[in-house]
Every structure is written in structure tokens, then in C-alpha cells.
Structure 1
Amino acid sequence: MVYFTTFVAVCGSHEFGTCAGYSSPTQDAIVEELGLSTAEYSVFGSILTFGVMIGAITGGPIADFVGRKWTMRIASALCVAGWLAIYFAEGALALDIGRLATGYGMGVFSYVVPIFIAEITPKNLRGALTAVKQAKILYEHSWLELQAWSYWQKALACSKFCPLASLIPCAVLLFGLFFIPESPRWLAKTGREKEFEAALQKLRGKDADISEEAAEIQVKGFKYIETLQPLPKASILDLFQRRYLSSVIIGVGLMVIQQFGGINGICFYTSNIFEEAVLYSSRLKSKFLQVIVTAIGAALVDRAGRKPLLLILGTGLVLGCIVTALSFFLKVHDLAADAVPILAVTGILLYIAAFSAGMGAVPWVVMSEIFPINIKGVAGGFATLVNWFGAWAVSYTFNYLMSWSSYGTFLLYAVINATGMVFVITVVLETKGRSLEQIQVAINRE
């Protein structure tokens, strides 16, 4: 039941991947079909980010109020409405409304899916199953990129195919939600003790002994909740109280490092980077490398631990940036021309591989584990908002930085990633093998 429930929830991440990857390979088909100007298509492509930010900041409070399952239903319904608006669009306005709706659903899914998976899984599987979300996103993004690599496949990626194909995971999710239980910890938080026990029993199996796990959630969780009952409902400003500061710094700090280390600039402009390095290489290979390595990272996160994985692969991020910077330095100064393309490909692929298994997936795992139950909605929404703002900022500034200095850009990213490793060593708490309740006890002690 845990695997089936995770599969249903991860269908939300399918929407995440298809929404993010939709606009690039379909641009020519949409512009030709609807006669859009460059400005109109730019609005269509970029308005997704605004929807995501709104969904990120509101998804947490909604999940706390109506539950994880209903939040996924709401996000799915908006994605369905958005894709239908895009499918039936006859002009720019309908496209933009549909894109905004799917973006909002993306923002909600980016928070609620990892939180829900973390709350339903046993502690020994939590990291791996939460990281599956990232692999699913990358797979769907890669599938859409594939459509642009041959004429007939690109025709399949036109605006009349992808919206309909993207309705399938929404249907699976909406149907599957009738058969999976609500998060036991959310039920515990809202005081529904009988439903809590029934949900936990369903997840662990009808013959499983849940007494020990239920007692841990009840004794540590309920007592903690009781101390929070007199407190007013959490707001953004409450996140900066001393009692929450450690978890907020860890969760938000990892999201800042994840994005400002340069991933979105590098991945969005991989082809441009290879062209600049005098080599046009298939970014498709880098996309599927992400999928494969992320899957490997998901298998290791519960064995190696969160911090060791971040530190070992953080070294790969720094080295990848330095090698890429060296390739551009040689190109700018007309040195060792034969080595330039080899260094560029090696550096970029090393960076992407290290990011996919480490900083790409692990911060979402930690974010789903680190926040106390009473601020999880607000704090998770805030961390997700910071993540998406960082994604926009890096994507927006990347070309300006490359114009300033190609090798300087990658040296800057190397410094940021090295700083991130120091942050992981000094601030981040290891959550491997601990229940969510044990994590809160450890944070409060520190």
C-alpha cells in the first residue's frame, strides 16, 4: 500500500515535469498554429513561473487545512482545467489562462507530494520514495525534450497532443486518491485518532503490528501538538521565532544553495553552452543522465545518509564547474583548442550527474522531514517559493553572466557550491533512520 500510495502521489510530479518541459519543444507548432507573436509566446512561456509561485505559497496552508489528499485533488483539477484551456485555445488569452492554472498546480504539487510521501512512509524508506518524485519530474521533462529531435515526433508534441496526454496522470491521480489513505500524521495533528489508526494500519498492512509506530506518533506527536494548541495559527512571521529558526534555516538554506548553484541556467542553456565551447552536443543525453543518476541517488539516500550524499556529490558540483570554467578560459585565450570540447562536455555532465543524485533530490527529502507539523504548511510553502524564485533568478541572469565572463560564471557557481558544502557540514541535521518525531526532538535539543 505504501508503494501504491506513492505511485498515485507521484502522478502529480508527472504534471510537474510535463508542465515544465512543454513550452520548449512545442514553440514552433503553437506559434504556427495560432499565429502568435514572439511577445505573446514569451508571455505564455513565462507566466507558468508566476502560477508556480502562487501555488507554492498557498499550497502549504491549503494542505494543512483540508488535508494532503484534498490538496492534490484541487491541484489536479486546476491542471485538468489548464490543459483543456490550452487544448481548446484559439488565441493568446486562453493559452495564458491555461498555462497559469497548470503552473499553480505545479506549485502545489511541488510542496504537497514530497510532504505526503514523507508522512506515509516508514523511516527506512522515506528518503528513497521521496526522491522518486525528482526522478519522475526529470523523466517527463526528458520525454518532452525528445519530441523536438525528429519531425514526426515534434508533430506529436504539438498543442493538440501534449495537453491530452497530460490529462492521463491527472485521471490516474484523481481515481487513485479514492483508494489510498490520508496522511496519518495530518490526521493525528487534527485530532482524528480513529482515522489516524485506520490509515496507519492500511499503509502497513492489515496483519502488521502498528502499536509501536502509533505510540511513537501519539506520545511524541500528540504531546507536542498539545503544547501548540494555545498558539495562534502559524504565519510567515512566525517562521522567524527562535523555536523554528533551526529547521527554517536548514530547509530554506538548502533550497537557496540548490538553485543559486546554477542548475537552471546550465540545464536550460546546455545547447548554448556546448555551442559556445565549439561543440554542439545532444542535451538529450544530459537529460537522461539526470534521470538515471537521480534514480541511483534515490536508492542511496537511505543507505548513505543525507549529509554524506550532499557532501560527496557537492565535490562533483565544484569540480564540474571548475572543469567547465577551464574549458571556457582556454577558448577565450585561444589555448589548447582540441581540449576545449572535451573539457566542456566532461564538466557539464559531471555537474549534472552530481546535482541530480545530490543537491537536486536531497533538499526536497530534507524539506519534507525537517519542519514541525504545526508550521509545515507555511514553512514548506515558503521554502518552495524561495526555490522557484531562485530558479527564475538564475535563469534570468545566466546569459548576462555569460556575456560578462563565460569562465567567470562557472567559477562563481563553483564558489556558491563550495559555500553550500560548508553550510551542509555546519548546519544541516542528518535525518537518516529517524522518524519525523525523532527529528523534531533532535532539532529542539540543538
Structure 2
Amino acid sequence: MSNNVKDNSSDLEEDRILETQTCKAEDWNGVQDGGLQESRLDTFLLILKQVGITTGLCLSLLNLGMMGAWPNSCMADLINTNTTIYGSFMALTPTQIDMLGAMTSVGSMPGTWLGGVIVARLGRRRSVVLLLVPCVLGWGLVALAVNPTMLLAGRFVNGISCGLTLVAGTTYCVELTDTKYRGAMALMPTIFNILGYITAISLGLILRWFQSPFVGIAIGVAGTLVMKFIPESPSYLSVSGREDKARRVLKSLRSPLADIDAELYILRNKNIAFQGESIFRVILQTEIAKSLCIVVPLFLIHNFSGIAILLINSTRIFQASGSILEEGVSSLLMFFCQLIGLCFSVFLQGRFGRRKCLMASLLGGGVCMGVFGTFQYCKQMAEVNVLNETSVDDVITQVTTLDTVAKIVSDDGNSTVNWIISANCEWTMQHTWIPLACVLVFMSAASIGILSVPYILASEYFPTAVRAQISSICVTLGSGFNMVALLLYTPMQNSLTPAGLYWFCSAVCFVGLLFSWVFVRETTGKHIG
């Protein structure tokens, strides 16, 4: 009974402090408060400082994107001009080529677990500095590889680096930024991840497969040097008992009107129940378990909504759908659309919150995948009637794919053969822009919410004392879902047909929309402890 009274009084005290902080936050634009007045210029400089710190921190996320996109950007060079940095030949089997992408996902699972332990014990700043070790080792093995085994080992180490980066980078960004701007700043890791994809694809156009890893090493070194100017997370400092240092860091990052003592009080109050507890006992606590039951399904929806297969198999998808542009150009356009969508998302999530943006994202994604599936269905059902005038009695009817039809028609120079193409086939031939449009709009919509929100909520839903460990659990499960989605791509395409696969992704989006509406709670503008 006494514990309940204590908890209720603690909640009332926290609400009172939060109300006081909210009132002070509303006074930022030139309202007098205790003799202090912050001008619009001061506010602008504060925002600029937060952006600068977050940008420096996110250099490691740029490498994350490069590691993910490296196989796509260098695949043609590996297959066609298969020489190593030493000039020797290195032949890859089709299975080994497929494993270049899969090994990163395999390595990311132990990487996220390791990241959870390191981030919790060594702190956020030291963890990001330590990222240089697997970064250099992984890229070095890839660049200097003389055989497929060495190349795949490098990709596995790349995966470990990716797992560490996801946990350390996202957690650090969420904790370092001001509550008022966290809604926008928490998207910076995803933006830099997509910039890494674009960088890797662009480098693949001008560099050999073993040259681009040296750019990744240079970015890793630059990211480590920048950390000299970025402070440790004040949340981590407070929870680890270094409150004086946490206060100094908060004063350097917050407005002069911010109530630093109130923020530190909330940090202590939200984390005191979890300090010294086993992570397994923490997970069984009601609030933590509820949060896990929200975040983990979001990762499942994220990977089966179509994002995973489009990011990895975009070239194959564009080729099979008969896109009007060359596959590499289409893939580059797709990543640029992601980047543009994320830039808009910075303002949208700050203005409308994570939940509404997530729902809008899933609605747009579901519609696009539904249209894409319908196009593929029309394409599959295209019938070609072949009438050979030299043998009028022989009428051959077959169902074939549109790209096969186009090839046969273009290659056949026999004037005695008349091709009567069905209405479905004519329609798909006249609308080959639809696949590209569907994918571009889908990725733009995904960038607004479902692409980034699961990773953000994996940090925001949990208190500082256990954030790194539980976030690593969520990200590890997300990596597992990603592997399953990629492994099931070909079997599902064969069993459901391409149209059925995209309709399945559309259904997942609409189920995710309902799930988000019912269960996801808002975090934008709120203290996360």
C-alpha cells in the first residue's frame, strides 16, 4: 500500500515538473523569465548547434548505408571484371554472390547484441569511437580480398559494424538532442543511412569494387575524429551517477531558460526502478513488456511491407517489371526519393508526431503496393495469339511475360506472321511507367514513417538505464525479420506470383495501419527518461 502511495506521489511530482518545463518552453521566443530573455537569434543558434552535433555523430551512419549498398553498386564489376586489387582473378559462384548481401544481415545480429552490452557499459561516446575497429577491419578485408572466403569474411565484419552502429548511433542521437527538437533530429540517422546508399551507388559508377572500401575507411576515421567535439550523452551520465558532468553537458546543449534540475530529476525518477536489475526481469515488467509488444511487431511490418525486398532486389524488380528506365538509374532514383521523403519527414514528424506520420506512410505504401500488384497481374495475364498465315489452321495461343513478347516481336522479321496482342498486353505495354512510379511513391511514403519510426521508437520507448540493451533486442529481431523477408522473396514470388507478393505487401501495410492506430503511442515532444 505504501509503495502505491509513493508511486502516485512520484507521478504527481513528475507531472508538476513537466508542466513547469512546458511553461518555460513556451517562454523561449522573447518572453521574460527570471531576467533571462532568449531572442530568435539565440533560438536559431541553439538549433544550429543541435544540428551540427547530430550531423557529426551521424557520419558513422553514412558508413552503415555504404556497407548495405556495396553489393548492388559493385555487382557488375565483380562479375564482369573479376580482378582483385593485385590483378589476380577471383571468380564468384551465384551462391557466393547472393551471400555478399546476406552476410551483412548475419553479422548484424551478433553486432546488435554486442552493441547493447558495449553501449550500456562503456557509454555512448566511447562506443561510437570503437566503431572504427570493425569498420576498418571489415572494409580492409573486402578491399584486400584475394578469394571469396576473405571477401565474405569482410562482409560479415561489415555486418557486425552495422549492428553496433544501429544501436550506438540511434541511442546517442535520441538522448543527446533537446526534447523540443528530438522529433526532427531523431531522423538524422536514417537520412545519413540513405545518403550512404546513394554514395555507394555513385562510387560504383566510377571506382572498382576494391577501391570504394577505402572511401568507407576514410569516412570512418573522419567520424572518429569528430567525436572529440561531441559530449557524452547527459542521460547516460546521469544514470551512471555522474550528475555534475551531466548538468554541465545539459547547460551547453539547452536553452538558458531550460530547467536543468527538472530534467535531471525526471531522468533519475524514470530510471531508478531499473538500475541494478537483471535485463530479463526488466523485460517482464508491465510497461516494458507493453512497449516491446508494440516495437517488435513494427519491425515485422517494416520488413514485410515491401521495404526489405525493394532495397536489396530493386534492380531485379525493375528488370522483371519492364520499367521504362535502365535498372541502375531506376535504383538511384528510388534512393533519391527516399532522401527527399526523409527531408520532408524531418518537418512532418516534428509537426504531427510519429504516430500520424507512421499511419500516413503505411496508407500510402499499401495503396502503391496494391497498384503495383494489379499492374503485375495484368502483365502476367497478357495473351498473345500467333496466327501463321502460311498455316491458317494452326492458331497458337500462349501466355507469356511482357518482356518476352516485346523481344519476340522485335526479333521476328517474318511478314507472314501477324501478332494479335490482347487488350491486357497492349495496356501494360503503354503503361510501363507504372512500376517505376509505384516504387518511387512507395519509397517516398515509407520514408515519412515506417522506414525510420521502428528504430526511433526502439530507443524512445525505453528508459536510459536499459535503453541500449532492449533496443539491441528489438534491432536484432528486426535483422532476423529482414533475413527471413529476403530469404522468402523468391519462394513467395514463385508460390504467390509477383502480383500476389505485392498484394501481400499491401495487406501487411494496411494491417500495420490498423495496428498503429490502435496501439502506437506518441513520443514526439515528450520526455523519454
Shorter-chain TM-score above 0.5: yes
Q: For 1:301 and 1:391, locate their aligned partners in 2 and report how far apart those are by CA, in whole Å.
A: 25
- Is 1:182 aligned to 2:232, yes or no? yes
Residue equivalent to 2:333: 285
Residue equivalent to 2:26: none
User: Which of the residues 483, 506, 524 maps onto 1:414?
Assistant: 506
Residue equivalent to 1:194: 244
Read off the aligned partner of 2:220 and give its amino acid letter: C
Q: For 2:304 and 2:113, locate their aligned partners in 1 and report how far apart those are by CA, in whole Å.
A: 20
User: Contact conserved, 2:69 with 2:200, CA < 8 A, in 1?
Assistant: yes
Residue equivalent to 2:306: 262
Residue equivalent to 1:10: 58
User: Which of the residues 170, 193, 196 maps onto 1:137?
Assistant: 193
DSSP 3-state at the match of 1:429: coil
Q: For 1:338 and 1:28, locate their aligned partners in 2 and report how far apart those are by CA, in whole Å.
A: 28
State the 1:360 CA deviation: 0.6
Q: For 1:421 and 1:234, locate their aligned partners in 2 and report how far apart those are by CA, in whole Å.
A: 31
DSSP 3-state at the match of 1:385: helix
User: Contact conserved, 1:271 with 1:280, CA < 8 A, in 2?
Assistant: no
Structure holding more helix per residue: 1
User: Which of the residues 344, 347, 356 maps onto 2:435?
Assistant: 344
- Is 1:251 aligned to 2:295, yes or no? yes
Read off the aligned partner of 1:420 and give its amino acid letter: G
Read off the aligned partner of 1:421 and give its amino acid letter: L
Read off the aligned partner of 2:320 and give its amino acid letter: E
Is the alpha carbon distance of 1:181 and 1:77 closer, same or farther for their aligned partners in structure 2, counting shifts above 3 Å?
A: same
User: Contact conserved, 1:142 with 1:288, CA < 8 A, in 2?
Assistant: yes
Query: Structure 1, residues 161-201: CA drift from partner, whole Å, max 9, x if none?
Result: 21111122211221111121100000011011111112112
User: Contact conserved, 1:118 with 1:126, CA < 8 A, in 2?
Assistant: yes
Residue equivalent to 1:146: 202
User: Contact conserved, 1:322 with 1:347, CA < 8 A, in 2?
Assistant: no
Read off the aligned partner of 2:505 and give its amino acid letter: Y
Residue equivalent to 1:442: none
Read off the aligned partner of 1:429 and give its amino acid letter: R
Q: For 2:428 and 2:155, locate their aligned partners in 1 and report how far apart those are by CA, in whole Å.
A: 44
- Is 1:227 aligned to 2:273, yes or no? yes
Structure 2: runs of 5 or more not aligned: 1-48, 85-89, 383-423
State the 1:18 CA deviation: 0.8
Is the alpha carbon distance of 1:232 and 1:67 closer, same or farther for their aligned partners in structure 2, counting shifts above 3 Å?
A: same
Q: For 1:330 and 1:95, locate their aligned partners in 2 and report how far apart those are by CA, in whole Å.
A: 42
Q: For 1:278 and 1:81, locate their aligned partners in 2 and report how far apart those are by CA, in whole Å.
A: 40
Is the alpha carbon distance of 1:30 and 1:279 closer, same or farther for their aligned partners in structure 2, counting shifts above 3 Å?
A: closer
**What is the CA RMSD across the aligned residues, in angstroms?**
2.0
Give me the TM-score of the superposition, normalised by structure 1.
0.90
Query: Structure 1, residues 199-228: CA drift from partner, whole Å, max 9, x if none?
Result: 1122237xx344x1x223322221333333
Count of matched residue pairs: 425
User: Contact conserved, 1:274 with 1:341, CA < 8 A, in 2?
Assistant: no
Read off the aligned partner of 1:176 and give its amino acid letter: V
State the 1:257 CA deviation: 1.2
State the 1:396 CA deviation: 1.5
Q: For 1:170 and 1:195, locate their aligned partners in 2 and report how far apart those are by CA, in whole Å.
A: 28
Residue equivalent to 2:414: none
State the 1:53 CA deviation: 1.0
- Is 1:402 aligned to 2:493, yes or no? yes
Q: For 2:96 and 2:437, locate their aligned partners in 1 and report how far apart those are by CA, in whole Å.
A: 37
Structure 1: runs of 5 or more not aligned: 438-446
Read off the aligned partner of 1:267 and give its amino acid letter: L
- Is 1:19 aligned to 2:75, yes or no? no
User: Which of the residues 320, 328, 335 maps onto 1:276?
Assistant: 320
- Between 1:27-36 and 1:16-25, the stretch displaced more is 27-36
Give me the TM-score of the superposition, normalised by structure 2.
0.76
Read off the aligned partner of 1:365 and give its amino acid letter: I
Read off the aligned partner of 2:378 and give its amino acid letter: L
Q: How does 1:293-304 map to 2 (within 5 A)?
A: 293-304=341-352
State the 1:143 CA deviation: 2.6
Q: For 1:108 and 1:337, locate their aligned partners in 2 and report how far apart those are by CA, in whole Å.
A: 45
Query: Structure 1, residues 86-120: CA drift from partner, whole Å, max 9, x if none?
Result: 23333334323322222111111111111111111
State the 1:295 CA deviation: 1.3
Residue equivalent to 2:17: none
DSSP 3-state at the match of 2:465: coil
- Identical aligned residues as a percent: 20
Query: Structure 1, residues 35-79: CA drift from partner, whole Å, max 9, x if none?
Result: 133144444443221211111122112111110011111222210
